[in-house]
Amino acid sequence: MEQQNLVLIGFMGSGKTSVGIKLSYRLRMPVEDTDKLIERREGCSVSDIFREKGEAYFRQLETELLRELGESKAGKIYSVGGGTPVRPENRELLKKLGMVVYLRVRPETVYERLRGDKTRPLLQCEDPLGKIKALMQDRKAAYEETADMILDVDAMTLEQIQSSIIMKMVSER
């Protein structure tokens, strides 16, 4: 039987990577992180790509990768970069790729979780909380439109997030 993919979207720091890894163990499905796939291909970090080639170049790589991933229905879990659903084209590709779960978080949660993080080029600025709020506001509709399921994860444990997603996957079968 062809197994459906699961796609995790959400802002930076929403827990996509951790949730993906946890679900991967539980469901015995391989997990892939699109940022990591891009880094491996390009041979450098996302920060280096932003610095040396610019954000537009990175966004193009994201779209090309999504297109490729959509060609095989592999029964995988994908966690994608926080900005991926912004391009309308990507939203269509994400929906085609599998069941999309949006891990929604409050800006303050992101700020606390990513304080001191140096790996997110978009948050290396004077006022990271202001930037988080502005980006989230801009992206809100894109995330919501793409999602088959929305989870407000600020106060949820990984265990609770995992159970909610599994229940949804079972009900969709």
Give how far Cα 146 sits from Cα of 10, 31, 114, 140, Å: 10, 20, 24, 10
According to CB under 6 A, which one of 27, 122, 129, 158 is a site residue for ligand S3P? 122
List strands edge to edge, sheet with 77-79: 31-33, 77-79, 6-10, 99-104, 149-152
x-or-dash string of contact with ligand S3P, 44-83, rule CB under 6 A? --x----------------------------------xxx
Nearest of 139, 2, 156 to residue 165 by alpha carbon: 156
For residues 12 and 151, which CB has a smaller minimum distance to ligand S3P in the complex? 12
**Residues near 9 by Cβ (< 8 Å), separated by ≥ 6?**
16, 80, 82, 84, 85, 94, 100, 101, 102, 103, 143, 146, 147
Instruction: Give yes or no for residue 9 binding ligand S3P (CB under 6 A).
Output: no
Instruction: Give yes or no for residue 35 binding ligand S3P (CB under 6 A).
Output: yes
| Neighbour tally for 83: CB within 10 Å | 19
| Closest CB 29 distance from ligand S3P, rounded Å | 19
**Residues near 115 by Cβ (< 8 Å), separated by ≥ 6?**
128
Instruction: Give yes or no for residue 12 binding ligand S3P (CB under 6 A).
Output: yes
For residues 122 and 158, which CB has a smaller minimum distance to ligand S3P in the complex? 122
| Closest CB 62 distance from ligand S3P, rounded Å | 7
According to CB under 6 A, which one of 121, 156, 166, 168 is a site residue for ligand S3P? 121
For residues 22 and 120, which CB has a smaller minimum distance to ligand S3P in the complex? 120
What is the DSSP annotation of 61-81? HHHHHHHHHTT-----EEE--
Number of residues this chain uses to bind ligand S3P (CB under 6 A): 10
| Closest CB 65 distance from ligand S3P, rounded Å | 11
According to CB under 6 A, which one of 5, 101, 120, 151 is a site residue for ligand S3P? 120
Give contact residues for ligand S3P (rule: CB under 6 A).
12, 16, 35, 46, 81-83, 120-122
